[in-house]
Amino acid sequence: MPILINAWKKGVEPIRIKGRGISKGSVGGEILLSEDPISFLGNVDPQTGKIVDPEHCLFGKNIAGKVLVFPHGKGSTVGSYVIYQLFKNGVAPVAMVNLECEPIVAVGAIISEIPLVDSLESNPFEMLEDGMNVNVNGNEGWLETKD
């Protein structure tokens, strides 16, 4: 849906994509897009927020302060606590968006008070790009591009 991306870039009306709110809160931030699932235990350094798995598409990038868009989590249930540790260390994403959230990421987001939305009515990987500024509303379940 490149027309939507081009419309956003030209400063036309913001685009709101409805989904399902998983973790409450409403924030704005810059998108960091990962087409790879994320295992918070193993892929992410909880002290820095940096992706440390050399096989991951975001290797070397930092998730701190970003709206992290990824398909779903994977791996150990300890991942929930790694998300919480990221939050306590001040290096967590400001929001997360999943194609389909699973319990590990949901619990981590809830205990860390990180807004989380999933099941968007449009595929975010076809509509969004790294660096786009968006608002995420976990209370109502939507993501919106900023003007």
Active-site residue set: 76
Q: Could you give the CA distance from residue 73 to residue 118 in angstroms, rounded to a whole number?
A: 12
Q: Could you give the CA distance from residue 12 to residue 103 in angstroms, rounded to a whole number?
A: 37
* Tally of CA atoms within 13 A in the half-sphere of 93 that contains its CB: 33
Q: Could you give the CA distance from residue 9 to residue 14 in angstroms, rounded to a whole number?
A: 10
Short-list 100, 110, 93, 116, CA closest to 40: 93
